[in-house]
């Protein structure tokens, strides 16, 4: 009986060891992956292909000057989804922190790095700050996310939202007032068209009094103006959770 007990115990130990090894291998297989660091000439990794060629140059110009003048590195990373990075069980905050630390953005003596992460498939974005910021700029990070980035993303203009976000982060790093959002491409033509229609309506009213098409036009313009203002107000302010983690500097999260 003693021999049989020892044999059974040894077999059980071997089985448990095999199961433990299989679990460790499975955990290793599920480890999150990270994009490679960009070349020294670039400050972005656009895996999701969200940034236009023109805006890529602008991002490089802004981030390059910030690094040269303030010694603050700013990087943009876009991914198709967290699942594509083997990080389906990560939150956007956790993945941003892990990526920040994997890349080692900033230096130990000047840990003021900045990261803008966009996951298109998850419809989430994260501003992650280095430990040197000490959580003191969360309010500005939330404003950049909710006022400059997310509204453009809701309109499907990812490139404009990313560039505006970089401009906002640059202003935040320099201690300047945050910039206003870039108007969408149709804003100026719509403004000119509205002014032309308004002048035409006024001329028509002078000529016809209460008759003519001007009153109907004014009603339509008023309805459209109400619609656009309402849409603009609904597109603002979706910033969510914020906090440091291992990078330790705070930040802001947005979804759309």
CATH number for the region 44-183+242-255 comes to: 3.10.310.50
pLDDT at position 210: 58
The 10s digit of each residue's pLDDT in 122-143 is 999 999 999 999 988 999 999 9
Indicate the helix (H) or strand (E) that contains 117: strand 114-119
> How far apart are alpha carbons 210 and 217 in whole angstroms?
13
N-to-C CA span, the chain? 67
Task: pLDDT band for 239, please (50, 70, 90 cuts).
Answer: very low
Average pLDDT over residues 229-254: 53
> How far apart are alpha carbons 56 and 27 in whole angstroms?
36
Residue 126 backbone phi and psi in degrees, to 5: -140, 130
């Amino acid at each position: 009986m003693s021999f049989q007990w020892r044999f059974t115990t040894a077999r059980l130990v071997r089985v448990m060891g095999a199961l433990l090894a299989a679990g460790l291998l499975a955990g290793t297989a599920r480890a999150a992956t990270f994009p490679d660091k960009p070349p020294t000439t670039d400050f972005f990794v656009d895996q999701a292909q969200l940034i236009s060629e023109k805006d890529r140059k602008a991002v490089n110009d802004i981030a390059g000057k910030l690094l040269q003048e303030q010694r603050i590195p700013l990087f943009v990373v876009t991914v198709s989804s967290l699942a594509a990075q083997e990080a389906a069980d990560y939150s956007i905050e956790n993945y941003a922190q892990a990526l920040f630390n994997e890349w080692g953005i900033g230096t130990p003596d000047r840990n003021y790095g900045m990261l803008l992460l966009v996951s298109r498939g998850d419809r989430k974005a994260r501003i992650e700050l280095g430990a040197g910021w000490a959580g003191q700029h969360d309010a500005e990070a939330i404003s950049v996310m909710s006022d400059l980035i997310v509204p453009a993303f809701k309109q499907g203009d990812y490139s404009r939202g990313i560039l505006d976000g970089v401009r906002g982060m640059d202003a935040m790093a320099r201690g300047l007032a945050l910039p206003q959002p870039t108007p969408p491409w149709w804003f100026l033509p719509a403004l000119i068209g509205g002014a032309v229609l308004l002048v035409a309506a006024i001329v028509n009213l002078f000529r016809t009094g209460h008759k003519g098409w001007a009153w109907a036009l004014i009603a339509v313009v008023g309805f459209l103006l109400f619609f656009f203002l309402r849409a603009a107000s609904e597109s603002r302010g979706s910033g969510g959770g914020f906090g440091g983690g291992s990078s330790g500097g705070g930040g802001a999260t947005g979804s759309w």
